[in-house]
Amino acid sequence: MKRLLLDTEAFIWWDANDPRLGGNARAAMQNAAEVYVSAASAWEIAIKAALGKLRSVRRPAQAVIESGFSELPVSFEHADAVRELPPHHRDPFDRLILAAARVEELTIVTSDSTFPRYALPLIDARN
């Protein structure tokens, strides 16, 4: 069974029961051995909520616990691995998620069209 790391958008879609999260992605998340949400996603959500760019019903920690997911702390190894990524993506949160997935050997659930350029295992969140 796969071990998954949700990007921020996939996590938000899951938590909101948003129909943009595709059936295959939803099934993969329900059947995965482990599903992680990075602390980088919690940070991104908090920033966007504070700026009024995102409205969320629950705080990320509550959503992670109630969904049966696991928190993935940001480690020095994750942060340092960002330097090894090609500059395909400028978003620092996404780069940290990509680096963490590489270090932890996780499959990323994402709808971001730039992520495939990194040659990491992915599940398209829209399918």
pTM score, whole prediction: 0.95
Q: Is the pLDDT of residue 1 over 80?
A: no
Closest Cα partner for 35 from 56, 57, 15? 15
Q: Estimate the crossing angle of helix 8-16 against helix 92-104, to 10 degrees.
A: 90
Q: Is the pLDDT of residue 16 over 80?
A: yes
> Band of the pLDDT at 11, cuts 50, 70, 90?
very high
Q: What is the reported pLDDT for 55?
A: 84
Burial (CB count within 10 angstroms: exposed 0-12, middle 13-18, buried 19+), residue 57 = exposed
Structural domains in the chain, CATH included, are 3-124 (3.40.50.1010)
pLDDT 10s digits, 43-90: 999 999 999 999 877 899 999 999 999 999 999 999 999 999 999 989
For residue 97, give the 3-state DSSP assignment. Answer: helix
